[in-house]
Copies of this chain bind each other. A is one copy, B any other.
Amino acid sequence: MKQLKDTSTEEKILEAAKEVFMKYGLYGARMQDIADTAGINKALLHYYFRNKEKMFDKVFEGALQKYFTQMDVFGDTTLPIKERIFRYIDNIVNFLSEYPQMTMFIIKEISINPEMFKEKVQPLKKGRGVRFIQALEEEISTGKIKKVDSVMFMINLHSLCTYPFIGAPLFKHALKANGKDYEKDFSTEKLKQSAKNFVELTLGK
């Protein structure tokens, strides 16, 4: 019962901290706001996580871990390259639709404090995009797919899969002004199909 209550409070705080830090960033977030969101006394924040910076680190490291773990799954080497990319698309679109704010959170914070990247990402990152680009260039050299700019292809594919979630607030209003509805006219399945179509058309043969 003891341990259960402990982790419960600690996780309530962590959940609230995620929410507030993701919305306002390290400098914009207020400890009182986190406490209110968690529905607990402010002093408990310091009881479980000494101070604001340490609490932020926990949240940010958790986000990095989750993000780079998911975004680096470029599985089964025995599959044909297109099938690998298709599964990669399914995987990251599912992930990004579940955590639409995470990408911006990470980008914002590392652009404010670039040293964090070296400290926290380099260790856990054996190389995002490495397997993707390498695999692509190998397939190009064997002539199985069209000669494409591997860097631009990787950037374009990530753009297609990522920005629809980041830019949702803009798209929602732009579409409404157009008699369209983001919730109705956009879907993750349509997006997956678009992205796969892009791959097919670009790598084609």
Query: What is the distance, in angstroms, from A19's C-beta to the closest C-beta of chain B?
Result: 12
Judging by beta carbons under 8 Å apart, are B164 and A129 in contact?
Answer: no
Stretch of A6-14, A85-93, A110-118 that contacts chain B: A110-118
A32 within 8 Å of B by Cβ? no
- Measured between beta carbons, the chain B residues less than 8 angstroms from A128 are 170, 173-174, 177
Cβ-closest chain B residue relative to A134: B178
Judging by beta carbons under 8 Å apart, are A152 and B24 in contact?
Answer: no
Tell me the complex Cα distance, A180–B198, Å: 23
Judging by beta carbons under 8 Å apart, are A170 and B25 in contact?
Answer: no
- Measured between beta carbons, the chain B residues less than 8 angstroms from A162 are 159, 163, 167
A124 within 8 Å of B by Cβ? no
Contact of A178 among B133, B152, B163 (CB under 8 A): B133
Judging by beta carbons under 8 Å apart, are B169 and A159 in contact?
Answer: no
A40 within 8 Å of B by Cβ? no
**Contacts A111-B169, A160-B159, A190-B149 given: A104-B104 contact, CB under 8 Å?**
yes
A47 within 8 Å of B by Cβ? no
